[in-house]
Amino acid sequence: MSIMQYNGGCLVGMKGKNCVAIASDRRFGVQALGLSTNFQRMFSVNNRLYYGLAGLGTDVQTLSEKFRMSVNMYNLKEERDIAPTTFASLVSSTLYERRFGPYFSEPVIVGLEKDDTPFICAMDLIGCINFAKDFVVTGTSSEQLYGMCEALWEPDLEPEDLFETISQAMLNAVDRDALSGWGAVVHVITPTQVITRTLKGRMD
């Protein structure tokens, strides 16, 4: 079995009208054995920028610790919050540093730029950035997520509608993947607030 499918899990990010959303499942397992229903895959950089990491559990945790340190150092040195495009470059170069012995993790980054323009992007495990216009997916059920997102997404969704759209995309995609699911969490980021919701989904 591929190392990227050892622990399981998936993420999706979507753009809306002056808002973005990111969702992940909560399963952590070792191949076919499911172990935990509250694995944290999404992390906040600040209240306008969130990212998620899919793939091998240990690298998700190692990378999140690395990025926390890098961003803290950035904040201390620059005395300002890091911009989404800058953070994306930071993530990309951190991953490419290990080009010939990579971290087995593929990130999704969502946030609002300084002028409240929505920003989303995803990367492969060696840091190739995909600046998408609509949605980004990653993880063991990425193909299912691509299908759901393509069918449900439309441009300029308001925060509440974006929440419904991303939630349905996540819930139905993971139900077709044995290694994903076991709960889901969604963050919707708007210029004024971040709303976090836990979804009620199938726990099988």
Return residues touching another protein (CB under 8 A).
Answer: 6-7, 28, 30, 33, 35-36, 39, 56-58, 60-62, 65, 101
Q: Is 177:140 a contact under the CB 8 Å cutoff?
A: yes
CB of 64 or CB of 92, closer to another protein: 64
CB of 65 or CB of 116, closer to another protein: 65
Q: Beta strand 33-36 with 42-46: parallel, antiparallel or unpaired?
A: unpaired
Long-range own/partner contacts, residues 117-121 (CB < 8 A, 24 or more apart)? 118/15, 118/16, 118/18, 118/19, 118/20, 119/20, 119/84, 119/85, 120/13, 120/14, 120/15, 120/20, 121/84, 121/88
Q: How far is it, in rounded angstroms, from Cα 129 to Cα 122?
A: 6
CB of 18 or CB of 62, closer to another protein: 62
CB of 64 or CB of 167, closer to another protein: 64
CB of 89 to another protein, least distance (A): 24
CB of 61 or CB of 89, closer to another protein: 61
CB of 62 to another protein, least distance (A): 5
End-to-end CA distance of the chain: 21
CB of 58 or CB of 93, closer to another protein: 58
Q: How far is it, in rounded angstroms, from Cα 77 to Cα 9?
A: 35
Give, as one character, the DSSP assignment of residue 82: P
CB of 122 to another protein, least distance (A): 22
Give, as one character, the DSSP assignment of residue 4: G
CB of 69 to another protein, least distance (A): 12
CB of 57 to another protein, least distance (A): 3
CB of 36 to another protein, least distance (A): 5
CA angle, residues 84, 11, 196, in degrees to nearest 5: 75
